[in-house]
A and B are shown apart, each in its own frame.
Chain A
Amino acid sequence: MRGRWPHILFVAAISAAVIAVYFSGSSRWIQLVTTVLWFAAIGAAWNIQAGFAGVLGLGNTFFLAVGAYSSIYLYNRFGLSPWLGMWVGAAISVAIGCAVAYVCLRAGLRGITYVFATFASSQILLFWLLDQRWLGGAGGIRLEQIDHDPWAFRFGSDRAYLVIAAILLACTLLFMASIRDRKWGLFMRAVRENEKSAAMSGISVLDIQVLAVACSALFTSIAGTFYAQFQMSVSPTALLSLHMALNTMIFTVVGGIGFVFGPVVGAFVLTAVSEIALHLSGSGTDFAAVRLLIYGACIIAIALFLPSGLVSLAGRGRRQ
């Protein structure tokens, strides 16, 4: 199978699954799939910078936290709708993200040193937030209970969040698919493959890398706003842990870094595997530990045997 068909089939299969869950009415399944779609979305946002432009940052939780905190704070303090507040958060995220990326990349940080620098930025935000009383300190901020108010980004049913998460993911993927073979996408991939030859052919490497981080920050920040509304609370330690930072990366790499659908495949497969493991393991076992064990084993297996990710199994083995 070549050309468009595998992609169309894949989108159809995922959509069918989401629609089936939507009508199943089981709130556990709806919440589970919403979470999976959300993880796929933040993975896809990371994929723009890491998969397309080759900028391996581990600081995207920074944007997640900024998006979550700014919308929730603006709503609680000024009554500003999160639908507007999320753009404030996105603007802050993009501004800070560009500044940090510019400073680090210009200083020549690449690979593991860039990973450390971006992770440091997220940890500075973590410890700063822990000290800020007006942002709830270590306890974070909770949203007050409202039943149904679409303007306040609050809905009476879980289904609405499922739909919004699906739209968020679809927008991120559409954005990636649309730039992939156009000017900026091609520039990003050229920079990823070889910075020197990209620079030789007239591409401004630093600009392209910062642009990729900016796109990544935008989508991650909006996903952060969604997280705050879906969970109805934010806290520094939940959003800015090493665990969360690694999650933005893991689903993408397991699925296939650089492939548009990589994060979606990774998120669905890893969740499916751990769900099956939960059903197979007997009662009395520590579910959380079993889930972690399966996750870890899958990640090790991918790193050892299939470094290009599950999508590369589809046969063409070519990074998109």
Chain B
Amino acid sequence: MKLSSSAILALFLLFSFYFFSCKPKDENQQVFIDKAELAPRHLRVIWTENPSTSAIISWTTLHEHGKVHRVFYDSLRRGGEKRNYVSQVSASKNGAISMVDEDLKEGVPQGYYHHADLTNLKPSTKYYFVVESDDLVSDEFYFITGPEDDRVISLLWGGDSRMGGPEPRYAGRTPHVDRQEMNKRIKSLMDEDPNILGFIHGADYGTTADWRHLFWWFEDHEIVIGEGNRLLPLIISRGNHDMQIGFEENFWLGDTQRKRGFDYYFATQFGSKTAILTLNTEISVAGDQRDWLEENLSNKRKENRWLLVNYHRPAYPVVKDFENATFKRVRDTWVPYFEKYNVDLALESDGHILKRTVPIRNNKYDETGIVYIGEGGLGVPQRVADSTRWFIQPPGFAMSAHNVHKLTFSREMIQIKAFGMDGEVLDQFEVKPRNLN
């Protein structure tokens, strides 16, 4: 066989063509615009470091970017008449959501993101607001800011709401019923207990963070609007299926992102005695993030009764290969610091299963160790655990069941309850305060 120079050149050109074709393309979609579809939608509240005084309100408009995007807000109900609200703030970030070929094929409409930073809020206060894009004003919604004191609070936590492959086979044609059912469960829990202040998401929202997936995630998320149009603020983390530009466009974290770009990790302070560190397993775990983790675990441990960590890829997976580099890296790099600073509870996702480990220290059962719960069940198809793994033997366990956890923080304990799709309690246990002296 003779391979001429021109053949080699052709091979390289082919490779180059392939390589550059990997990049998403920005294209505009021509669609018929229904005026009713121009109104603000997908309203959401995002919390980052200081939920008692700050929040980000985000929303989507379809088809047209618009010119004026504002939030009108107040601590009193104003019935949606924008002139009556005491405060207003313009959106600090607006832009067109990137579309790739698959988005266009799936026929999702062109979207535009809008994010507004609310600051100097009062703690433990209901804030009523409307958003305006040009002359179109949303209904009135409200959320409750985090406390500043040591009162009892509850948070919901869960991860993995994705399904399917590149085509959203659930989207529109075959609804993602499991995700929608879990969202109904979250709404019920929120309506039943006004002490539930926010929702911690363990990431992997969609199969990708391209618009065809996030669009339907936001559509389904509108199920989680509580009684009286209450919105449950989200604490966002980033998973291995959230790596596209769409995630960065649609989830804006305000100052946290201004400080650290999209490779973010942050500590959220709830009241005076509870801190939750959101980590990012999709960037270097041994670099700046580890330095930050060590510093913040040290500082937060001194100040808080309850110290939790939330991240996507598990240190103690019950489904996937325990020795896989991704999990071992988290286990080898972060867990020693979790143990050194006596983290009270670790929240993990990714595996698509419900689990609770035994308390673990030095890679073995230890009553003084850390319990790891997980691993994602907000509608993602559930896998089966490797039941032989030592860390899920009683009192640990694992089962295939969609799940969302309610974490209630009081002076005496963290009460943890895992709810199934139908509201059944799948697991419950308590974590007592550590005697750290």
Q: Do A and B come from one complex?
A: no
Residues of A within 8 A of B (CB): none
